[in-house]
Structure 1
């Protein structure tokens, strides 16, 4: 994720901030411009963006601002009181139940990062024009996390760290996070649009295998017998070996990890330069590399791999396990390249 600055004073502000800690102005995220903006109160609970070049129109916080779960903005007078991201919620937790508000807050933080990435890619969130579903979210208790016809369901117990670690150990997963879940499940939705509806099934099957094999039987076999003994040579995770749809979803999640991780590292490099830990860029220039617009997937992977080595080394120096322990074998390189081509093909299409 790119860095943000307060449009009033220029101080750094973060994606989740509600206030600039230097000038004390309220701040919010404008999804139309992927930008954090400083605000001054106007009339009728509306706000005006402040700073050089900021538009004069009035904006409002999302209605979920009142629950401290959202800092996104919407135009004043918009038909919905919800922002772009919260408008995708079909079901939220029962806030009368203890712990539900905290769980919802954690889920929204993860979901906002997903929606930010999808917006940076210019990917659609409504598949109606392709006779597919609309991206939506059900955050409920005692549910099975998964995807169906555009609806991503997440059991809110996943928002509890202790429960998530228990599930990680039970399923033998070395990496498990809310954002990872949402990225994975969004992959199922985008398969229906980028692959199925866009006529790329033959290309998909050549790389991932034939998805027409019985999905339920494949998952049952995986849970009973486990993955193939050589899965590390073909797949990014053991679960990816269960069925081509899951292979795509796991690879899709990895691709989003890579792009956003590289984008964040590129944005944060200035801190290391300021501390004298890496040489300054020639002429003080900033990197013009945009991970979300990279034309080649290998340019992303070439940046990702040394970044993960550095992250893992830092974790070990602090007495923790590796931050990210996955190895990318050649077949996964090919799968990542396929995902990248599908995203770039869609991003290159005219809007509308």
Structure 2
């Protein structure tokens, strides 16, 4: 995430701000410009301060204080680039639903920010069958139906509204023995399943994928039963980013995709703040790092990892000073870095249907990768 400043008074802003607390200007995010703009009214529309031409209206979800993104006046539809993917939202007449949905929307907008910055395909289910869409569902208050489960099915991502309750999410985290569980993490994991469809299955990269992650044709249901009965594989941390990633290659990919976006987005923010890590007692220099590159671009993945490890170590130590748990309680073993490299090159369209290049982690020069191809929908996706 980059840092934003108010164009009227230079005040630093949060991505979710709707109003500058210093100068009072209304604010709106313009996705195509990656700018949180200070706004001036222009008739029945808005214009970005200092921008000639270009009139905007707020996304319809701004009326619920759930979105601060703008829609160009000439575009059809009432929803912004992020909210056009919503298929079902909860009953907003219920105050508790509204409160939780706002938290869900905050995470979703940060997800879409990253997808846009990575130039990933963002078709909705209105654009193509199997396009990306979201259902945000609340559990029945009387318990008359099974609990909503977060998951993915051929482009449809379901987010359980209960996950927006911090206590409930922490309880589920404890029950499942997880190290980490957040709304943003759910979005990044589930969208990883969607991009497995789009950028692996439909783009002819199955053999390259299997060379790194394994054979996804293994029975998914049986794999999950085995995982929940027996736990993760022994010594899993060398090759898997999380215990759950060991359950099945689909879950391994989705978990690794999630962590890739975690790393890229956090490094962008570290760069925006000019954060450098240079421990005074580190005589080797191995724990020193600064982000002097754009992690959203096609830099070598090892450069990202070399910056991330010291940054996350410093972040964890700062959290411990505040009596908090580690912000990033994960180990990036050699196998994990290899998988991050596959996803990095795939996102930047540098992975061919070449299992040798994929398995060695070779950096393929830009321009050699296949373009995405639309293909018939195949094997049903994992939840």
Q: Same fold (TM over 0.5)?
A: yes
Cα separation, 2, equivalents of 1:131 and 1:215: 26
- Aligned equivalent of 1:64, options 45, 56, 61: 61
Q: Could you say what secondary structure the match of 1:218 adopts? A: helix
Q: Which runs of 4+ in 1 moved over 4 A?
A: 346-352
Cα separation, 2, equivalents of 1:334 and 1:114: 23
Q: CA deviation at 1:344?
A: 1.0
Q: Could you say what secondary structure the match of 1:115 adopts? A: helix
In structure 2, what is the equivalent of residue 330 of structure 1?
334
In structure 1, what is the equivalent of residue 240 of structure 2?
235
In structure 1, what is the equivalent of residue 102 of structure 2?
105
Asked if 1:124 is matched to 2:121, the reply is yes
How do 1:163-182 residues align onto structure 2 when only pairs under 5 Å count?
163-182=168-187
Whichever structure has more helix as a proportion of its residues is 1
In structure 1, what is the equivalent of residue 206 of structure 2?
201
Q: CA deviation at 1:69?
A: 0.5
Cα separation, 2, equivalents of 1:271 and 1:8: 29
How do 1:260-279 residues align onto structure 2 when only pairs under 5 Å count?
260-269=265-274
After superposition, what is the alpha-carbon deviation per residue over 1:2-44, rounded to whole angstroms, capped at 9, x for unaligned? 1111122222222111111222111110011111111011222
Q: Is the 8 A contact 1:5 1:12 kept in 2?
A: yes
How do 1:89-100 residues align onto structure 2 when only pairs under 5 Å count?
89-100=86-97
After superposition, what is the alpha-carbon deviation per residue over 1:172-193, rounded to whole angstroms, capped at 9, x for unaligned? 0111000000000000000011
Q: CA deviation at 1:256?
A: 0.3
Q: Is the 8 A contact 2:274 2:291 kept in 1?
A: no
- Aligned equivalent of 1:85, options 64, 76, 82: 82
Q: Is the 8 A contact 1:4 1:13 kept in 2?
A: yes
> Given the superposition, is the C-alpha separation of residues 72 and 227 from structure 1 closer, same or farther in structure 2, using an over 3 Å criterion?
same
- Aligned equivalent of 1:219, options 216, 220, 224: 224
Q: CA deviation at 1:133?
A: 1.3
In structure 2, what is the equivalent of residue 24 of structure 1?
24
Q: Is the 8 A contact 1:132 1:193 kept in 2?
A: no
Q: CA deviation at 1:197?
A: 1.3
Q: Is the 8 A contact 1:295 1:344 kept in 2?
A: no
Cα separation, 1, equivalents of 2:320 and 2:8: 40
Q: Is the 8 A contact 1:252 1:336 kept in 2?
A: yes
Q: Could you say what secondary structure the match of 1:32 adopts? A: helix
Kindly indicate whether structure 1 or structure 2 has the higher relative contact order, using CA contacts under 8 Å at least 6 residues apart: 2
Over the aligned positions, Cα root-mean-square deviation in angstroms equals 2.4
Cα separation, 2, equivalents of 1:270 and 1:225: 42
> Given the superposition, is the C-alpha separation of residues 287 and 255 from structure 1 closer, same or farther in structure 2, using an over 3 Å criterion?
closer
Cα separation, 1, equivalents of 2:314 and 2:258: 21
Cα separation, 2, equivalents of 1:200 and 1:339: 11
Report how many aligned residue pairs link the two structures. 336
TM-score by length of 2: 0.83
> Given the superposition, is the C-alpha separation of residues 15 and 351 from structure 1 closer, same or farther in structure 2, using an over 3 Å criterion?
farther
Q: Could you say what secondary structure the match of 2:37 adopts? A: strand
Cα separation, 1, equivalents of 2:29 and 2:128: 31
Q: Is the 8 A contact 2:203 2:371 kept in 1?
A: no
Cα separation, 2, equivalents of 1:304 and 1:41: 42
Asked if 1:153 is matched to 2:158, the reply is yes
Q: CA deviation at 1:95?
A: 1.1
Which ranges of structure 2 fall in alignment gaps of 5 or more residues? Answer: 140-147, 278-289, 351-365, 374-383
